[in-house]
Structures are given as structure tokens and as C-alpha cells.
Amino acid sequence: MSVLIFVELDNGAIKKSSLEAVFYGSEVAKAQGTSATVLAIGASSDSELSKAGNFGAKKVLHANDSKLDQANIQAYASVLSAAVEKESASVIVLAKSSLGDAVAARVAGKLKASIVSNITELPDLSSGFKVKRSIYTGKAFAVVEMLSDKKILAIKKNAVSPVETADSAQIEVFTPEVSEADFTVKITGTHKASGTVSLPEADIVVSAGRGLKGPENWGIVEDLAKALGAATACSKPVSDLDWRPHHEHVGQTGIKVSPNLYIACGISGAIQHLAGVNSSKVIVVINKDPEAPFFKAADYGIVGDVFDVLPKLTKAIEASK
């Protein structure tokens, strides 16, 4: 009974969060004395897919039907279910994401599998199969015992630190039968967020709020993000005012992020915003109001005007390179 890992592709490249899932799944396979196989759906090159071997996978199943180039959730669920049956997989691993959540839920229904999301550690196999997951927007943890024969694990971003090796994976063409019924929902267009760094995949996020006073001042935020190789984000009021695009809104009703470093500039720290960012490993808050609620959640805080602090911080980072 092998471990199967579903990876997501972005313009043919395996997403960073999916490579984390590959490493996680490979470690689970190692602990169970079995092998790890990856499933990739959509157009990609063998050289790119072989990267899965660097993170512990022994084989990559590549489903490259042109009908699967767009992320059709029902079709992806059918392909993943077929791969599970082909590999006789008992554990299915994937990165937690909007696509991963939707696909995993459908596969769980098809295979009568148990599913646990937001997993933060490798499973405890000493007595059964127990996993630790983040709950209450990262404020607490729960340990869940999975009892079903098939188990689906959705891994939280940055939950594991992958170790890369020089190993390679065998690439195998996978051509499961996909029913036309899986394509009753048609994707007529896809609009992707622009930007150098994808916000959900970013290791560093520089975010700003109404303390920037207007969209014309966002250059200092973008300069800092560029110096750090970071993604930019904003609070809900900023996106509501159309100062920044809505795809940059992070918070309870926006994108939830868990980068290694989150820098909040001129954001007061309302509970709705904190709910979307408190899984960040390190939070730095820059605000001229020493009573700003965000300081209570911060690992580091700078009491100062963002218009003074950000240019100096950017200059210091560029000088250190």
C-alpha cells in the first residue's frame, strides 16, 4: 500500500507548497516501509516533474490530456481517484489550497476516505494513525486519529522543512479514462493575479493598510517587497477603497497566508485581519500608534511612521546584499 501525493502545477512548474507535500508524503512512506508516488495533472516537462524525486518520490504519474490543462475540479478528482486505485494507495497527501481542498473533498466522497486538513506535523504511527492539525485560525491544535482504510492528508504550508537530495523519480505517462460527465462544468476563462511572487506561495509577505494614506504611496511597500523577494498584500479596507486589487486582500474574508515572515505596515490589526495571518512563523509590525492591537500578536514591533521606517529598512536590506 503506497503513499500517493497530488501536486499542483503553475505554468508547468510544481508549486513550492506541493514540493513540501512531496517531502511530507515521502517521509510518511518511509515510516510505513513503502514507496511514494506523485500524481501531476496538466502540461509539464519531464525535467520539471523529475524534481519530485529530489524530495523523496520514486515515481511520477503524469496525466497530460489536453482536456486537463485547466483545473476542472471534478475531472481532477476522478483522475486522482483512478491513480489511488492504480497504486493501491492507502494514504493520499496534498498541499492545502483552494484547489486541493475542493479536489480532496470529492475524492474522499468517491473513495469513502477520511480527510484531515491543516496538518502541521508528520503522523504519529506508534498506536494507530494520528495527525496534528491547526484549528481556530492557528490559535490551537487538535490531534485526530484516522480510522478508515484510506486517508487523505492536506498539509499546511510551511508545516515541514523539506530536505532536497539528488535522487530522481521515474516519469510514467498516466492515461485514465475520464467521463464526459466530469466536464459538465465548463471553464470559460481564467484570470490569474499578476505579480512577481504569488501571495499564497510566498515565503515573505509585505502588507500595508490605511496608514499608507493613499494608493499613490504604495511605492515604498513595493520597494521593500522587491528588496526582500516578497509578495505584497493589503488589509480589507484598502481593497474596499480600491487602493489595491482585491486579490491582495489578506484576512478572514480574504486570502489566508502562512509565510515565514509577515511584515504589517500601517495596519491596526483588527481580529478579522489577524485571522488570516496569525499562522505566519514571524510577524513584524510597523505602526506609529504604540497602542495598535497588532503589536500584541507581533514577534517584533517598530513604533514609527511607515513613511520614515520603510525607506530606511529597504535601504538597509539592499546594502546588506
Q: What CATH number is given to the structural domain containing 247?
A: 3.40.50.1220
Residue 191 in any domain: the answer is no
173 and 64 share one domain: yes
- Give the count of domains, the chain: 2
pLDDT per residue over 95-140, tens digit each? 999 999 999 999 999 999 999 999 999 999 999 999 999 998 778 9
**pTM of the predicted structure, to 2 decimals:** 0.85
Residue 106 in any domain: the answer is yes
What is the pairing mode between strands 170-173 and 140-145? unpaired
250 and 136 share one domain: no
Q: Tell me whether residue 109 is annotated as binding.
A: no
The pLDDT of residue 313: 96
Structural domain of residue 213, as residue ranges?
204-320
What is the pairing mode between strands 13-14 and 261-265? unpaired
Where does a domain end: 183, 212, 243? 183
130 and 255 share one domain: no
CA–CA dist 207, 221 (Å, integer): 8
Q: Tell me whether residue 268 is annotated as binding.
A: yes
Residue 309 in any domain: the answer is yes
Residue 123 in any domain: the answer is yes
Residue 303 in any domain: the answer is yes
Q: Tell me whether residue 271 is annotated as binding.
A: yes
26 and 168 share one domain: yes
pLDDT per residue over 145-155, tens digit each? 999 999 999 99
109 and 20 share one domain: yes
CB 12 within 8 A of CB 44: yes
Task: Work out the angle between the directed axes of helices 306-320 and 219-228 (0-180°, nearest 10).
Answer: 30
Q: Tell me whether residue 74 is annotated as binding.
A: no
Q: Tell me whether residue 97 is annotated as binding.
A: no
Q: Tell me whether residue 170 is annotated as binding.
A: no
134 and 33 share one domain: yes
Place of cell 501525493: 5
316 and 286 share one domain: yes
CB 207 within 8 A of CB 95: no
| Residue % of the chain over a pLDDT of 70 | 98
228 and 263 share one domain: yes
Residue 136 in any domain: the answer is yes
pLDDT per residue over 174-205, tens digit each? 999 888 888 887 777 666 655 567 888 899 99
175 and 268 share one domain: no
Residue 73 in any domain: the answer is yes
pLDDT per residue over 10-53, tens digit each? 989 999 999 999 999 999 999 999 999 999 999 999 999 999 99
15 and 142 share one domain: yes
- Phi then psi dihedrals of residue 146, to 5 deg: -100, 120
Residue 57 in any domain: the answer is yes
**Domain CATH number, residue 178:** 3.40.50.620
CB 39 within 8 A of CB 5: yes
Q: Tell me whether residue 267 is annotated as binding.
A: yes
CB 244 within 8 A of CB 222: no
Q: Tell me whether residue 266 is annotated as binding.
A: yes
248 and 316 share one domain: yes
Q: Tell me whether residue 118 is annotated as binding.
A: no
Three-state DSSP string of the chain: CCEEEEECEECCEECHHHHHHHHHHHHHHHHHCCCEEEEEECCCCHHHHCHHHHCCCCEEEEECCHHHCCCCHHHHHHHHHHHHHHHCCCEEEEECCHHHHHHHHHHHHHHCCEEEEEECCCCECCCCCEEEEEECCCCEEEEEECCCCCEEEEECCCCCCCCCCCCCCEEEECCCCCCHHHHCCCCCCCCCCCCCCCCCCCCEEEEECHHHCCHHHCHHHHHHHHHHCCEEEECHHHHHCCCCCHHHEECCCCECCCCCEEEEECCCCCHHHHHHHCCCCEEEEEECCCCCHHHHCCCEEEECCHHHHHHHHHHHHHHHC
2/81: higher pLDDT? 81
